[in-house]
Chain A
Amino acid sequence: MRRAKVLVLPAVVVLLAVACTKSNNNSSGGNNGGQSGNIGRVSVLNAMEPSEAQALQAVVDADINKNANYVATLEANADFETQVKIRVEGGNPPDVAFYPQPGSVIEQAKAGNAVALEDMGFTASELEKTYGSYLMGLVEYNGKHYGIPTNVNLKSMIWYPKDDFDKAGYKIPQTWDQLLALSAQIQKDGGTPWCVGFESGGATGWPATDWMEDIMLDTAGTSTYDKWVSHQIPFNDPSVVHAGQLMGQIMFHAGWVLGGAAQTPAIAFGDAPLPMFKEPPGCWLHRQANFINAFFPSDAVAGKDYDFFPFPKIDQQNTLIGGEYGVVFRNAPEVADFVRKFAGAKVQCDQGSNVASSRISPNADVQPSCYANKILGEASTVTTKALQAGTARFDASDAMPSAVGSGTFWSGMVKYMQDGPSSLNSVLSDIENSWPAS
């Protein structure tokens, strides 16, 4: 008994001391407190499809990891939005996260979690020269930039079955009226013009918001579009109502949408284009961003079985894009080095050599010839041109507050599809009412 007494107190004290010193050693991993040392690894959380992340990891291994004193790992998470929030707010952020929403980038900058690119050795002029002032302006907060563009999607695209389309003698429409006329012609010839699917699990409705945004951008123009995004005009403004009505012209037209508008929220967006590849085509037109080609049948040949034309001019022709920003949460030399190389021309060009890749580089130094997939090369040309001309605009729902952009805008569009044309006004005013105050 006596021996136990002697042993115990020192044991507790030693344990406490060991515990304290250990924890002190490692408490220097702060976010903005200057650069810390190289720990040999860079974790990159992203929202890619697992197959896409795998293909890209191979590029990263070859172009970056092989000649570096650190290992960068892409961690794809299907539940990215929730996971990144949990990890950042829980104090265990990834080193880099690829955010699909510039709105979230600004939120992280405001919260003081993200590291400014300027604090890691980038200069604003260099960034704007490489990625364009529009893309960089979206992630600017208090004069500093908090996200580096790593990927863009072209969203103003309409896909069609090229060989059948040509055989039937259809012409690519240049205007909205021609698009409607083409739809009517296809219906007259016994076909169904459109394939539309808005189902996407917890994010059901987002492809419908893209439709709205595309039409809004081409009717109201870029400046009104910007006001809409930043809520300088209400969500039920006449210009938005007009865009919704034009969308309804196609969606609610009897026999124009395969399965009918009310079914569209039940059709997975990835399955939606599949009828286009039947013989004869189950549908002839499909509006979706460039990444949809990852969902096409594996034996479909670009330029023969399918091709795309830009979303036609309505009152004007602008270009809707989406994208992805790399946001840094740990200011360290290896993280800065990774970000610089990943967004740089070599990696961005090499990722295009993979035919299965659907990523378009926002880097102006990346040439269309980098893309093994011919269609992606064309899409990159359209995107780069629009970015340079200032007619490109980022997906509105990704730039609006998430209560609207990831919430009521999605569910509102689903309601519009289910309840029909008469519900448009009430749907839009419901979304307007849900806009967070302040």
Chain B
Amino acid sequence: MTPPNGKPGASVDIAERAPAAVALWVSILRIIGAVAIPIVAFFALWATFDFLRNANANRAVIVLVAVVVGVGGIFFLFWAMNAAVNALPARFREGVRPYVFVGPCLVILAVFLIYPVINTIIISFKDATSSKVVGLDNFKFVFTDGEMLTAIRNTAAWIVLVPLVATSIGLVFATLADRLRRGEAVAKSLIFLPMAISFAGAAVVWNFIYSYRPAGFGSNIGLLNGIMIGLGQNPVPWLDQQPWNNLLLMVIMVWMQTGFAMVVLSAAIKAVPVELIEAARIDGASEFQVFRRIVVPVILPTIVVVATYMVINAMKVFDIVFVMGNAEGRGTEVIAERMISWFFVRGDNGKGAAIAVVLFLAIIPVMIWNIRRFREQETIR
């Protein structure tokens, strides 16, 4: 590879041209540069953290230190490292500089992402207290345990239904809102509003909507049962209707994510060239045909991105199911919820980690596919 005289290949350029000793020095300096910032940052933050935990110190001083170190610390480190590179002899400089900036990210990524992944995989082959290797037992459990099988079935339903429904409704809203003469912003804001609530918060809100009390335990305060009683029907224990209660939980996520789909798709729709639509109209296409044959194909890449984002979200869903409680009794288990339940509530590291590994492996294909699509689009542009 012989790069042109542009900037991207500069480092390779120097390393290749330099004699062996210089190349060695450059490599060493690169490693030092990459590792130095995380290490310095780690100790600086540790010292700060110790200081912040010291309750005897003056409150104002604590706040000041937190702000200064938090905001200015990393900035200063990068500035200092950059200046340190400048202090090097000229032939080393440009070979080392990129590593000073990219290296720390890679090191931090390795410590906080790659190391935990590897450790989780190791734990998944061990027993409840991670003291003894048990081979594939935990994975056998994942695919044979009754609750786990329900969880896998439910998660499959989540990743199909939630993206499908949320994206479809979002698309319909985006199309229709686009045609509003006035009030488009208000309509869109209202639908976007639930996005601002956390999953756990939304679950609590919907817990009240679905709330049920049997006769004798006081009046029903749930919205849905209020409507049922108003219509002269008996109240229904909504969250105990298997397997439909799963759909009721999915409604919560659809409610939250539709706004996101709508906003993104709406932007895409507005970017569809007007000439294209006008040409179609002149050729006598009906409004539905315009939508079906022009708008949807043009914004298809965006639809796919929105849908994949939701697939990943649906795979990870935990809060909604956990907050609603009694997942085992209601048959509403999902994979991520089982993971937390086994790891923390039931205290079995091995099984919890095995579930995490399976979930991780299941998400990888979606991620790869997503990245591929992204790359394809980049090349088109």
Q: Find residues 145-172 in chain B having any chain A CB closer than 8 Å to their own CB.
A: 146-147
- In the complex, whether B75 has a CB less than 8 A from a CB of chain A is no
- Interface residue SS majority, chain A: helix
A157-165, A224-232, A402-410: which lies at the B interface? A402-410
- C-alpha spacing A4/B81, complex, angstroms: 11
- What separation, in Å, do the CA atoms of A200 and B326 have in the docked complex? 8
A438 x B127 contact (CB < 8 A):
yes
| C-alpha gap A403/B346 in the complex (Å) | 4
Complex CA gap A11/B87 in Å reads: 13
What residues of B have a CB within 8 angstroms of the CB of A205 in the complex?
326, 329
Query: Contact: A11 with B239, CB < 8 Å?
Result: no
Among B40, B128, B217, B344, contact of A82 (Cβ-Cβ < 8 Å): B344
**A274 and B84 contact, Cβ closer than 8 Å, known pairs A23-B43, A26-B50, A414-B329:** no
* Docked CA distance A436–B350 (Å): 11
* Total CB contacts across the A-B interface at under 8 A: 141
Instruction: List 22 A-B residue pairs with CB atoms under 8 Å apart, sorted by A's residue number.
Output: A4-B83, A8-B87, A16-B43, A22-B43, A22-B47, A22-B50, A23-B46, A26-B50, A40-B55, A197-B217, A202-B341, A259-B214, A259-B217, A260-B214, A263-B214, A267-B214, A275-B217, A402-B347, A402-B348, A406-B347, A415-B328, A438-B132
Q: Are B325 and A201 in contact (CB under 8 A)?
A: yes
A23 touches B50 (CB 8 A): yes
Asked whether B43 lies within 8 Å of A407 as measured between CB atoms, the reply is no
A199 at the A/B interface (Cβ < 8 Å)?
yes
Instruction: Return the contact of A22 from the options B46, B86, B328 (Cβ within 8 A).
Output: B46
The 5 closest A-B pairs by CB, nearest first: A19-B43, A259-B214, A411-B328, A22-B47, A414-B329
B47 touching A204 by the CB < 8 A rule?
Answer: no
A324 to B90, CA, bound (A): 68
Q: Determine whether the beta carbon of A436 is less than 8 Å from that of B83.
A: no
A403 B213 Cβ-Cβ under 8 A: no
A389 at the binding interface (Cβ < 8 Å): no
A204 to B329, CA, bound (A): 8
Contact yes or no, A403 B80, CB < 8 A: no
Q: A427 CB to closest chain B CB, in angstroms?
A: 11
Is A265 in the interface zone, CB < 8 Å from B? Answer: yes
Whether B325 pairs with A403 at a CB distance below 8 angstroms is no
Q: How many chain-B residues does the 8 Å CB contact rule pick out?
A: 44
Q: Which residues of B contact A (CB under 8 A)?
A: 36, 40, 43-44, 46-47, 50-51, 55-56, 80-81, 83-84, 86-87, 127-129, 132, 146-147, 212-218, 237, 239-240, 322, 325-326, 328-329, 341-342, 344-348
Residues of A within 8 A of B (CB): 1, 4-5, 7-9, 11-12, 15-16, 18-20, 22-23, 25-26, 40-41, 81-82, 85-86, 107, 111, 192, 197, 199-202, 204-205, 258-260, 263, 265-267, 271-272, 274-275, 282-283, 401-403, 406-407, 410-411, 414-415, 418, 430, 436-438
B333 to A, closest residue via Cβ: A411
Q: How far is the CA of A416 from the CA of B322 in the complex (A)?
A: 22
Q: Are A274 and B217 touching (Cβ within 8 A)?
A: yes
Q: Verify B80–A11 contact, CB threshold 8 A.
A: yes
**Which residue of B is nearest A82, CB measured?**
B344
Assess whether A265 is in contact with B329, with CB atoms less than 8 Å apart: yes
Judge whether B84 and A199 touch: CB under 8 Å.
no
Given A18-B47, A402-B345, A414-B328, residue A436 in contact with residue B86 (CB < 8 A): no
Q: Are A81 and B344 in contact (CB under 8 A)?
A: yes
* Given A1-B86, A41-B55, A81-B344; A271-B329 close (CB under 8 Å): no
Are B326 and A9 in contact (CB-based, < 8 A)? no
Please determine whether B216 and A415 come into contact, CB atoms closer than 8 angstroms: no
Q: For A4, list chain B residues within 8 Å (CB).
A: 83, 86-87
A19–B83 contact, CB under 8 A? no
Given A8-B83, A8-B87, A15-B40, residue A82 in contact with residue B329 (CB < 8 A): no
Whether the Cβ atoms of A16 and B40 lie closer than 8 Å is yes
Q: Is the interface of B mostly helix, strand, loop or mixed?
A: helix
User: Chain B residues with Cβ under 8 A from A437's Cβ?
Assistant: 127
CB contacts (< 8 Å) of A9 on chain B: these are 84, 87
Residue of B nearest to A282 (CB): B216
Complex-state Cα separation, A81 to B43, whole angstroms: 31
Cβ contact of B217, chosen from A8, A86, A267, cutoff 8 A? A267
Question: CB distance A415 to B329 under 8 Å?
Answer: yes
With a CB–CB cut-off of 8 A, which chain A residues contact B128?
401, 403, 436
CB atoms of B329 and A411 under 8 A apart: yes
Instruction: Provide the residues of chain B in CB contact with A258, threshold 8 Å.
Output: 214-217
Pick from B80, B81, B83, B215: contact of A259, CB under 8 Å: B215
Most buried by A among B51, B55, B347: B347
8 Å CB contact of A275 from B87, B216, B348: B216
Q: For B212, list chain A residues within 8 Å (CB).
A: 266
Q: Which residues on the A side are within 8 Å of B40 (C-beta)? A: 12, 15-16, 19
- With both beta carbons as reference points, the residue of chain B lying nearest to A20 in the complex is identified as B43
Q: Distance (Å) between the CB of A398 and the closest chain B CB?
A: 13
B47 touches A19 (CB 8 A): yes
A403 and B217 contact, CB distance less than 8 A: no
Q: Which residue of B lies closest to A111 (CB)?
A: B129
Supposing A402-B346, A411-B329, A414-B329 touch, asked if A19 and B218 sit within 8 A by C-beta, the answer is no
How far, in angstroms, from A145 to B328 measured CA to CA in the complex?
36
From B44, B47, B80, name the one whose CB has the most chain A CB atoms within 10 angstroms: B47
- B41: nearest chain-A partner, CB-CB: A19
CB closest residue in chain A, given B344: A82
Complex: how many Å from CA A437 to CA B80?
Answer: 55
> How far, in whole Å, are A260 and B214 apart by their CA atoms in the complex?
9
Q: Smallest CB-CB separation from A19: which chain B residue?
A: B43
Contacts of A7 in B (CB 8 A): 83
CA distance A233 to B234 in the complex (A): 46
Alpha-carbon distance between A189 and B329 when the two chains are bound, in angstroms: 34
A65 vs chain B, min Cβ distance (A): 15
With a cutoff of 8 Å between Cβ atoms, the chain A residues found around residue B46 in the complex are: 19, 22-23
